[in-house]
Structure 1
Amino acid sequence: MAQPNPSSRPCGHVLHTRPDLFLLVNYAPRRGEPNWCNALCEFVEEGNADAGDALSVYISPFDALVDAAFTSRPGKPYHVVPADTFDPRTLIRHSGGKLHVNLHCGWAASDGRIVVRRKGALASVCLMQSEDIPDARLQAIDLEIGREGLARYERLREHAGLFAHADSHRLPETWTEQQRHQAVGQAIQRMPGTVPVGAEVNQVALYDPEAAQWHFVPIAVFRGDTGVKAAA
């Protein structure tokens, strides 16, 4: 959700992230608020003391583009935007002063096939992180992904042999809109198959846009600590 209230920063952005993150948003202008948008979130399960909506965040803009293709609906397209263009303050207030984020690390897979959620989106393997945001920080929020989350993200890509993945993250910036659509279409076309939610998740699927190739890593590479989940 975007708000008109300015940030205390000279750049005007309320949110800064480290590393640079991306979000999926759909625009829903309202009277007096032409820039209002809604960001893709996951609900933190009821019963959790920190219940609320967790903002879906991506290190890879290409992964975000793929998810946007599966999440968009007629009349409700999702767009990939830098996280620092988004104002999360309404989201934080609705979550009792906490900022929840789900770091996308890959897609849930079962025996070489990608898990598809009930409404058609791809199931994501992600790590949730929560942070208290007191009123004093609401005008200038710094979100840093924790060391453990980054380590798991890197470990998955190392096991897939994607050692230059940071370079591939910059590829979409060099593409035209047509090239972006073509690359996403190629990724979808090269999917080895899908299975519905309920299948055993035993792998994490990763896509290399440079080689136009899918890779599958055992979920055990990523599993082991609390906070790991496949969003269904």
Structure 2
Amino acid sequence: MEISQQSHSVCPAMSFDGYVVRRLENGIYGQVSKATTDEVVPRCYLRGFDALIDSLALLGQTGETHQATPVSSLEREFLVEGVTQKPIVVHLGWRAKGYRVLQRPNGRLAGIGHLQPARPEASDIAIEAQALVTMQRLYESAGIYAWYDEYLVIASRSKMRMLGHALKALCDANPDISEDVDDYDQIAMFDSEACEWHFVPRDALLTLEGWPYFR
């Protein structure tokens, strides 16, 4: 996936096979993790590695098994109604404070994302260019470049190695369970090549185009 720094040189929307985090109980898929408090808008991840981190956090806190699931495996009706792609939140990173990722009491890490509105006359499930550019600029502000290519390298390795990588990431995140996840001053992103967390000030969002974000 090549994303130019100039938003006008990116296609208006790019088809993708991202991921969602889905509960798995007795071999049966259940609810997909949502990104809004009213449990309406699903959170989608461009990197399956990020979805894996979130699923491991839920397992550790709740004991419930969750799985990073490709969007292509979902029923089309889940994200598309008629000829309109439903709104989604594109995962950007996680809220943090004092270099610790915040975690909700229900086990979910407190993510932050780009709210993509409904796309009318959508022939496929796609991510809008603005969301891609926003993510790239946010990662570059943290000194992380070629973030998607790095993920593909990890994804090409064995599942056990990728799982171990994600477990280390979650351990290093040192999640802080908080009742008020809106009280954050940093955004955390994981550099899969260097295998370390990067943190940027919360105000970094204000310098990016594409507001509103789910906060």
| CA radius of gyration, larger in | 1
Partner of 1:207: 190
Q: Report the TM-score, using the length of structure 2 for normalisation.
A: 0.77
Aligned residues: 197
Partner of 2:107: 120
Cα pair 1:113 1:195 within 8 Å, conserved: no
Alignment of 1:54 onto 2:51? no
Q: Which letter does structure 1 place at the counterpart of 2:203?
A: A
Counterpart-to-counterpart distance in 2, 1:91 and 1:145:
12
Q: Report the TM-score, using the length of structure 1 for normalisation.
A: 0.72
Alignment of 1:135-174 (within 5 A): 141-174=123-156
Rate the CA distance shift 1:90–1:61 in 2: closer, same or farther, 3 A.
closer
Alignment of 1:1-232 (within 5 A): 18-27=15-24, 37-43=30-36, 45=38, 53-72=40-59, 73-74=62-63, 76-90=64-78, 99-131=86-118, 141-191=123-173, 194=176, 196-198=178-180, 200-223=183-206, 226-230=211-215
Q: CA deviation at 1:192?
A: 5.1
Unaligned runs of 5+ in 1: 1-16, 46-51
Cα pair 2:95 2:186 within 8 Å, conserved: yes
Q: Which letter does structure 2 place at the counterpart of 1:205?
A: A
Q: CA deviation at 1:197?
A: 3.9
Greater fraction helix: 2
Counterpart-to-counterpart distance in 1, 2:118 and 2:205:
22
Structure 1 segments, 4+ long, off by >4 Å, are 34-37, 90-93
Cα pair 1:28 1:38 within 8 Å, conserved: no
Q: Which letter does structure 1 place at the counterpart of 2:176?
A: T
Q: Which letter does structure 2 place at the counterpart of 1:186?
A: K
Q: Which letter does structure 2 place at the counterpart of 1:101?
A: I
